[in-house]
Amino acid sequence: MAVREILQGDHPLLRTQCSPVTEFDDSIAQLLQDLEDTMKQHRGTGLAAPQIGVDLQAIVVDANDGMLALLNPQITSSEGTQESVEGCLSFPETTLKLTRPQSITVLARDRSGSQVQLDATGHLARVLCHEIDHLQGILFFDHLSNEQFVEQLLGQVGSSGDSIPIAPHKSSGTDRDPDMDARQREVRLALDFLADAAWKLELAHDLLKDHKDLITAAKDDWNRLGKLAKKLSKAAIKWERSWKKNS
C-alpha cells in the first residue's frame, strides 16, 4: 500500500495542464495503485495524478460503481444539468454547490493502453467531471464567479445566532444507529462548511475595505457585511462546541 501526500490549497501544480500518458508500463500501473490507495485512505470518491504531484493525465474514481482507472480521459459529449454539493481532497474544509452535466461520455485509455468509452450519469458523471478538470488545471471553485460564491454563502446564513440543538450520540460497540451516524456526518459536513464560509466572508470584507474607492457601496452596506461576518464566525464557534458536547 502506497499512500501519497495530497497537495493542499491552490498549489501551482494543481494549475498545470497535465501531460498525456504515452507509455503504459509498470510505472503507470504503480501510479494508478498509489492513487487508489491514497483515495481509499482519505475516503474520497476520486483522485487525480496532479493532486499527488504527478504531471500526468491519470485519475481513479469510485462513486459506488466500482473502481475506475482512466488515462488521458476526455469528455466527448454531455447532456442536461444537475446541481449538488462538491468537495475536494485538496480542499478538505471547503464544499460548494456546483452545476455539472447530468450525463457525459468519456473517451480514455485503460491500464493497458486500450481505448475505452464510458457513459456516465448522475453522481458518477459529477465525479468524473471534477477529476478530469484537475488534469486541465481547473479547480472546482473556478466554476463560480466571485459574486456567485458570496451569494452562495449568504444564502446559507441564518438570521438567528441561537445555538442549534443536536441530539446526543454516545453509543458504543456494535450498538450503533445507522440513521444517527448519517445525521452526525451531515452535521459535521455542515459545520465544516459554516466555518469555511465564516473566515472567507471576513476575509472578503477586509479585502474590499482596502479598495473602497473602486466600489460603489453605502456605509450601511459595509456595516451590514462586517456585522454579518462577525455573527457568522461566532455562530460557527458556538455550534461547533454544541455539537462536540452532544456527540
Where are the chain's structural domains? 12-143, 146-246
Average of per-residue pLDDT across 19-39: 94
For 51-109, the pLDDT digits (tens) are 999 999 999 998 777 889 999 999 999 999 988 888 899 988 777 889 999 999 999 99
pTM here?
A: 0.63
Whether 151 is a known active-site residue: answer no
Decide if domain 12-143 falls under CATH 3.40.50.720: no
For 147-196, the pLDDT digits (tens) are 777 666 555 454 333 333 333 333 334 455 666 667 777 777 777 777 77
The reply to whether 88 sits in an annotated binding site is: yes
Catalytic position from the list 131, 186, 202, 240? 131
HEC secondary structure over the chain: CCCCCCCCCCCHHHHCCCECCCCCCHHHHHHHHHHHHHHHHCCCCEEEHHHHCCCECEEEECCCCCCEEEEEEEEEEEECCEEEEEEECCEEEEEEEEEECCEEEEEEECCCCCEEEEEEEHHHHHHHHHHHHHHCCCCHHHHCCHHHHHHHHHHCCCCCCCCCCCCCCCCCCCCCCHHHHHHHHHHHHHHHHHHHHHHHHHHHHHHHHCCHHHCCCCHHHHHHHHHHHHHHHHHHHHHHHHHHHHC
The reply to whether 143 sits in an annotated binding site is: no
The reply to whether 11 sits in an annotated binding site is: no
